[in-house]
A and B are shown apart, each in its own frame.
Chain A
């Protein structure tokens, strides 16, 4: 079995006296679609930010794409893609300009940038708005564009932070098709979300409560382990222990 794409061992992050991420340990296989669930403030975004290298852990360790996040951050960065909650595209640049920019930064050759730009535009259906400012295109397209940009340099692992927030169900569906396509090609996807139905789309999930992983496994395994019929109930049970199922 090949090396895991992501490993974390006792990964911890404290802000002063507040522990946001409490010694989490897990592994993600290559090509897996792994869902990070939890309520707002449970620590999933903080955990992700440590894995992508923009936040340093207080203690513990982690590797991404085989490289240690603390000692080899630059190697990690070359091999990952990231899509933030805000999509983080430059609103005052056009679609094409955004793609070119990130392609260039990641060292994609000019020729490849040109080819892949065409591919992306066609796949999302943005051929006619290639030269429009990102500010002007609808939210759903922005989201798919941000995802494509994250994959532009063919990273081995891609991190998605609440990518479907605020997007209509049809676009969400289309988005998940994109995710599956990507995973099928061998890219590992780590996605945080608070939509519980999306949890079913993942191969494995973990549920974070107050900074620690309260449950982890395939959706079925988690339901069985917690003793609840639906993931909704799992959630309730974990976050409010007193609430009856």
Chain B
């Protein structure tokens, strides 16, 4: 309606006139996406390792060589014994310690099995798991190699019966190059757009209230719906633009896959943004100062982001938390983005979350409209 049009126009005029805001709206997400997309990775390279080789045989040396050969480990120190290992870990000189005990080669030849000790610094948690999987993979492949070349004498058996190892063929779908960016960039995009969108809408109405212009609007015949629409539409359009910029960067700079329908992505984005921006506007109606609004918004954003699957998988959360996460719009949209872009999923997979978001959007807007009062009781 005409009133809404004028309100939308006013909002755009205000936004674009403020150079700092324009800079922040566009540059913060874009710059952060460009830089941080490279940061969001669990890929561990050149893990610093300390080796204690008490066996010092060809077999044990072979193992160490194998470890050094790949790009995953870098042996920075050799020690003859365990002395000093603790300190090295404490001081972060090394992240991993491999201890090869004395009868390593002998055990392999006699019994077909030999233990080694791996000590990992798990203060950073996630790294430990990955380092462990790298190390075990190398140990496994070395063992297979030895199987072919090493003569074995099994105590108690006359014939040596060699059994073929398991012919395991692993395939990783959707991201065979293990490019973290493919996984993280879509989610980062969502997060950055959400952060700025939510913050802007959250302080918008409160700010007008603080400046006194809100009262003037309340005296006019403008309806609550027109008012909220007049606030929502400009930021919704802006957010879509930022989102598109993000997609463009994702594609051109980071080469993220786009296996599914872009139309579907935009449909989801359009609905999602209504929910998020509507939440921001609602926050703006329940707080009294810009400061409060920002804090509440920040609080909400952080909880949303943490439980969205952006950093840590939703599947890893305990059941009750996953249930709570169902109420998290960011979780749904990140899931939709990843499903459509990376896995090429279609409407049959994302239809339900989109409908859920749509319902949430209507609900949130209704909340904001109802909460907003033109006159004080």
| A touches B in complex, CB < 8 A | yes
Binding site for B on A (CB under 8 A): 52-56, 73-74, 77-78, 80, 82, 84, 86, 88-93, 97, 100-102, 104-107, 133
A residues in contact with B221, CB < 8 Å: 74, 77-78, 105-107
CB-nearest residue of chain B to A55: B376
- Complex Cα distance, B18 from A74, in Å, reads 34
Interface residues on B, range: 20 to 34
Asked if A55 contacts B10 (CB within 8 A), the reply is no
Among B95-103, B179-187, B209-217, B348-356, the stretch that binds chain A is B209-217
Contact segment of B1-9, B86-94, B285-293? B1-9
User: Is B58 positioned at the interface, with any CB of A under 8 Å from its CB?
Assistant: no
Cα distance A88–B219 in the bound complex, in angstroms: 11
Q: Which residues of the partner chain A approach B220 to less than 8 Å between Cβ atoms?
A: 77, 102, 105-106
Known: A104-B5, A105-B3. Is A82-B377 also a contact (CB below 8 A)? no
Contact call A82/B219, Cβ cutoff below 8 A: yes
The 9 closest A-B pairs by CB, nearest first: A104-B6, A88-B216, A86-B212, A82-B219, A77-B221, A78-B221, A105-B220, A101-B10, A88-B212
Q: How many inter-chain contacts with C-beta < 8 Å in the A-B complex?
A: 76
Q: Tell whether, in the assembled complex, residue B219 and residue A77 are in contact, meaning their CB atoms are under 8 Å apart.
A: yes
Q: How far is the CB of B159 from chain A (nearest CB, A)?
A: 91
A93 in contact with B13 (CB, 8 Å): yes
Closest Cβ–Cβ distance, residue B97 to chain A (whole Å): 62
Decide: A101 and B375 in contact? CB cutoff 8 A. Answer: no
B10 touches A54 (CB 8 A): no
CB distance from A190 to the nearest CB of B (A): 13
User: Which residue on B lies nearest to A91, using beta carbons?
Assistant: B211
Q: Are A101 and B17 in contact (CB under 8 A)?
A: no
Across the interface, which residues of A come within 8 angstroms of B303, CB to CB?
none
Can you give 18 A-B contacts (C-beta < 8 A)? A54-B218, A55-B376, A73-B374, A73-B375, A74-B223, A77-B221, A78-B221, A82-B219, A90-B10, A90-B14, A90-B213, A93-B17, A104-B5, A104-B6, A105-B7, A105-B217, A105-B221, A106-B221
